[in-house]
Amino acid sequence: MGKSEGYLIIPKKAFPSPKIKEKPQTMFWTLELASYLEEAPWPATKDDLIDFSIRSGAPVEVIENLQELDDDEELYEGIEDIWPDYPTKEDFFFNEEEY
């Protein structure tokens, strides 16, 4: 690179573009991830659930999902408050009397 009509030409690589923060992903729950919260101390706040997840060795995805919850002070009564589509026993077609 050199001078051109009194101007110094600087390669674009010399000034990298500023990093743009990505929009946080929405929560993605699976039965496996939700199972880590089965023994959580319900009712619990967001911070209680994050603390429980860390202490119980839950995967980072569980903690990331919990961090995306809106309100720090809200009490959650169960996993259904966090994941409204959480499947219940009635969602499975399993006849316990047959076994």
Query: What's the confidence (pLDDT) of residue 53?
Result: 97
pTM higher than 0.95 for the full model? no
Name the residue type at position 52. F
Would you say residue 52 has pLDDT above 60? yes
Structural contact between residues 49 and 66, judged by C-beta atoms closer than 8 angstroms: yes
Among 81, 80, 83, residue whose Cα is nearest residue 27: 83
3-state secondary structure 23-41: CCCCCCCCHHHHHCCCCCC
Query: What's the confidence (pLDDT) of residue 87?
Result: 82
Task: Give mean pLDDT, residues 59-87.
Answer: 90
Mean pLDDT of the chain: 79
Query: What's the confidence (pLDDT) of residue 84?
Result: 87
Structural contact between residues 44 and 52, judged by C-beta atoms closer than 8 angstroms: yes
43: preceding bond cis by omega (within 30 degrees): yes
